[in-house]
């Protein structure tokens, strides 16, 4: 049978149905929806391949055999869609923001390269307000804040779905309330290409399989492997069943065993990390945060990983079995809670011993460990939590935080449970679990207390004291607000839930963030190498000024008025616009006092705590005393007659029994005809004394001739005019060891205990030289300072 001949209309229909290109050639910007789901166009429907000399020859022949006249050349379609008009004459209520039937509008289509097509953007696309595109992050979990449309003109409810374009993490939905939303994003090393889709019953097409209210964000993540990790550990008694307190319904639904505890503790730690990184960013200190030690294990932070057994690199939770039984632990805690008990830190000491035994830190290796006491248990009869402690701090190699598991049933185990956990109003059943401090009367409030209070103790581990506000003053009762946009009913405040924005959220205090900025756990890959000398010194100098010096730079200064236990006033010396750190800062006493409220400026004493960029600290208990006449002395004799010598701040406590003051003004500083030729150090496991010997064999003794018989001698290069330019001192309660720094850049050995105490460097401010030493001595030298003059 001869092939049938197409009519013109049939040919057009055949062309439209049979010839498609991957890239749309539609030139319309809007229009009604056709039956087959495509938008009608304003130009020719013939694909580009049929326009011009590359048209299909067989199809052209079929057309010539028909009775209709030949078609005119089709117009060349536009390469991109024109954008919809944004004229201001149309009111918001009448504008059409839903572009119906535009296939692929919500997808990042490409034209064969990585460049995105210029597609119309929905005004309801999620707008990220706290993270810029192509930002850098250094942690697993990133907190996202955003808005839908113009929040001043509309209030939309719905959901924002966050997904990765590579599907390496499942899409997670987050609620949008009154056009605001908050979300958590799980980051992996490298470029994280993210898509945010908004859906609402009030908007057309938002519930389709190809939503159009979409936006995109790329975040680059680099794990900071050069920083020491914050270790996470669960501590159990040796006969522990490995369970935590939970109501029967919870146990039936998710279990309360060790595996569940690991998932919950890991998720809580990720919340700490995301919260802290966001707080650092808001304080303009970079999105920096502590990292965790990781292990290759089955992923637990989303439900899909659990279902399919997906392996991931996740925060490692160490499980430590102690050598004590449950009864022994509870007896320790009972003794600790006794008001007359001598050892109020019994559980903390027990945890410290267990952690040291497990990690076995080497000399000089600092460990930062946050411990969960899994056997903490609510004793209904005694109305107390047993085998529990809430403490943080530490010294030596181990910094430790401990907290109990009594709120753990309320923690989320994965991303999908974060919002439900922080909005669950289920009343706390004290037949099974504790209502800690009567502030966790509902499940979401218990999650705040457990996760937040443990983070508070971890703050102590990282060197934070209590503050006037923020996490270090129990602000963690509002921790949920960082992760949800609408708070649930609170049994603590008896208030109905409402919209919560950034201004309503829990915070770290500004001083906490400054402390984190200089902490080794917060180092980033692009930070300058850590300075080996962390010490910082304060020197009273001419003009009633105070010169503060630090080899690593001066970071900030805390000022405490009379009887103030919490710091409310401070001064920052952060470099701006790429400027170098300030290694010397000169202030007057009045500069410091003027920072205080007017009513406190004249009160005494004023305490000052100074921090260096390398993390060192110096505390001046009485500023006026340091800058008084008692810290200086008038020199007489020789070339120094009439000059003033100033004493540096004192190293060592100077509180040994029978201690006596000692002071030496160098003969070589007073007489031009005398040169210091050598120094003799008397020492054992501490510094007993120093003897300064001159070219005429005259001697000056500071301290005592104890320790090694005859001492050790350090020769000065007399021919080259070498002199003492500074000291490096190892000290704690007394002076453990000392080292001379010379004008020729030489260093003597450390005489005494080279590993004792902590290291401090005494190098005078610019324009000053050392003219003597000062301090006190009992059985050995227990305090040390230097005298400087201009």
Q: Known catalytic residues?
A: 457
- State which H helix or E strand residue 701 sits in: strand 699-703
Residues in CB range of 777: below 8 A, 6 or more apart: 659, 660, 662, 688, 689, 702, 703, 704
| Spatial CA neighbour of 592 closest among 540, 527, 533 | 540
Q: How far apart are CA 168 and CA 188, in angstroms?
A: 9
Q: What is the DSSP string of 657-670?
A: TT-EEEEEE-HHHH
Cβ 549 vs Cβ 531: under 8 Å: no
Cβ 761 vs Cβ 789: under 8 Å: no
Cβ 176 vs Cβ 499: under 8 Å: no
Distance of CA 381 to the CA centre of its chain: 41
Q: Give ∠ CA 324-326-327 in degrees, rounded to 5.
A: 95
- State which H helix or E strand residue 332 sits in: helix 326-337
Cβ 537 vs Cβ 760: under 8 Å: yes
DSSP 490: B
Residues in the chain, how many?
Answer: 790
Give whole-number Cα distances, 575 to 26, 230, 613, in Å: 54, 27, 11
Q: How far apart are CA 211 and CA 101, in angstroms?
A: 11
Beta bridge partners of 240: none
Tokens 């923690």 sit on residue: 411
Cβ 666 vs Cβ 771: under 8 Å: yes
Q: What are phi and psi of 337, to 5 degrees?
A: -80, -5
Structure tokens at 404: 């109990």
How, if at all, do strands 214-221 and 135-137 pair? parallel
Q: Give ∠ CA 146-149-152 in degrees, rounded to 5.
A: 95
3-state helix, strand, coil in the chain (%, to 5): 20, 30, 50
Cβ 145 vs Cβ 282: under 8 Å: no
Q: How far apart are CA 430 and CA 381, in angstroms?
A: 11
């Amino acid at each position: 049978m001869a092939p049938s001949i197409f009519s013109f209309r049939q040919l057009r229909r055949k062309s439209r149905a049979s010839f498609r290109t991957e890239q749309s050639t539609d030139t319309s910007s809007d229009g009604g929806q056709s039956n087959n789901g495509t938008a009608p166009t304003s130009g020719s429907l013939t694909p580009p391949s049929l326009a011009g000399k590359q048209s299909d020859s067989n199809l052209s022949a079929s057309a010539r055999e028909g009775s209709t006249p030949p078609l005119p050349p089709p117009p060349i379609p536009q390469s991109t869609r024109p954008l919809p008009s944004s004229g201001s004459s149309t009111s918001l209520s009448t504008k059409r923001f839903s572009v119906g039937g535009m296939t692929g509008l919500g997808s990042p289509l490409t034209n064969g390269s990585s460049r995105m097509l210029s597609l119309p953007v929905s005004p309801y696309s999620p707008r990220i307000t706290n993270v810029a595109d192509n930002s850098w992050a250094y942690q697993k979990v990133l907190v996202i804040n955003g808005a839908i449309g113009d929040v001043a003109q509309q209030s939309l409810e719905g959901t924002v779905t966050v997904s990765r374009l590579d599907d390496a993490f499942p899409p997670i939905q987050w609620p949008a309330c009154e056009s605001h939303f908050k979300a958590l994003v799980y980051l992996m090393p490298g470029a994280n290409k993210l898509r945010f889709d908004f859906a609402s019953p009030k908007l057309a097409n938002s519930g389709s399989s190809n939503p159009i209210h979409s936006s995109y964000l790329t975040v680059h993540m680099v794990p900071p492997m050069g920083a020491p990790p914050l270790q996470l550990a669960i501590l159990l008694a040796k006969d522990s069943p490995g369970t935590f307190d939970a109501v029967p319904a919870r146990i039936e639904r998710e279990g309360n065993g060790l595996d569940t505890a690991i998932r919950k503790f890991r998720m809580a730690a990720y919340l700490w990390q995301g919260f802290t990184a966001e707080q650092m960013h808001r304080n303009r200190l970079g999105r920096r945060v502590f990292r965790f030690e990781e292990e290759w294990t089955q992923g637990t932070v989303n439900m899909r990983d659990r279902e399919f057994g997906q392996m991931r690199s996740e925060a490692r939770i160490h499980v430590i079995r102690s050598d004590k039984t449950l009864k022994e632990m509870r007896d320790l805690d009972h003794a600790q809670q006794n008001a007359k008990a001598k050892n109020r830190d019994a559980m903390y000491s027990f945890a410290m011993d267990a952690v040291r035994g497990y990690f076995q830190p080497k000399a000089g290796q600092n460990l930062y460990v946050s411990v969960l006491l899994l056997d903490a248990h609510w004793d209904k009869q005694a109305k107390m939590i047993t085998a529990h402690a809430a403490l943080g701090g530490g010294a030596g190699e181990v910094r430790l935080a401990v907290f109990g598991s009594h709120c753990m049933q309320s923690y989320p185990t994965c991303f999908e449970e974060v919002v439900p956990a922080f909005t669950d109003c289920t009343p706390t059943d004290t037949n099974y679990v504790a209502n800690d401090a009567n502030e966790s009367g509902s499940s979401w409030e218990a999650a705040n207390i457990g996760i937040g209070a443990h983070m508070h103790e971890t703050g102590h581990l990282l060197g934070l004291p209590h503050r006037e506000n923020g996490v270090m003053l129990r602000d963690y009762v509002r921790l949920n607000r960082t992760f949800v946009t609408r708070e649930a009913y609170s049994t603590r405040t008896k208030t109905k839930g409402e919209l919560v924005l950034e201004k309503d959220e829990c915070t770290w205090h500004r001083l906490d963030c400054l402390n984190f900025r200089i902490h080794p756990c917060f180092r980033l890959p692009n930070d300058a190498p850590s300075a080996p000398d962390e010490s910082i010194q304060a020197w009273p100098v001419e003009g009633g000024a105070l010169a503060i010096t630090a080899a690593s730079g001066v970071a900030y200064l805390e000022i405490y008025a009379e009887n103030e236990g919490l710091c409310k006033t401070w001064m920052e010396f952060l470099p701006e616009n790429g400027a170098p750190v300030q290694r010397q800062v000169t202030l007057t006493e009045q500069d410091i006092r003027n920072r205080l409220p007017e009513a406190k400026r004249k009160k005494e004493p004023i305490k000052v705590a100074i921090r260096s960029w390398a993390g060192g600290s110096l505390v001046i208990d009485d500023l006026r005393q340091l800058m008084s006449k008692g810290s200086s002395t008038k020199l007489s004799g020789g070339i120094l007659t009439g000059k003033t010598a100033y004493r540096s701040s004192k190293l060592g406590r100077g509180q040994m029994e029978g201690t006596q003051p000692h002071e030496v003004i160098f003969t070589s500083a007073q007489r031009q005809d005398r040169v210091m030729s050598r120094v003799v150090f008397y020492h054992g496991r501490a510094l007993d004394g120093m003897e300064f010997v001159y070219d005429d064999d005259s001697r000056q003794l500071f301290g005592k001739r104890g320790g090694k018989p005859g001492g050790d001698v350090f020769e000065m290069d007399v021919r080259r005019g070498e002199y003492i330019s500074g000291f490096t001192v190892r000290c704690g309660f007394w002076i453990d060891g000392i080292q001379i720094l010379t004008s020729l850049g030489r260093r003597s050995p450390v005489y005494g205990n080279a590993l004792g105490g902590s290291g401090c460097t005494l190098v005078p401010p610019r324009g000053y030289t050392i003219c003597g030493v000062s301090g006190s001595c009992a059985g050995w030298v227990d305090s040390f300072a230097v005298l400087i003059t201009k």
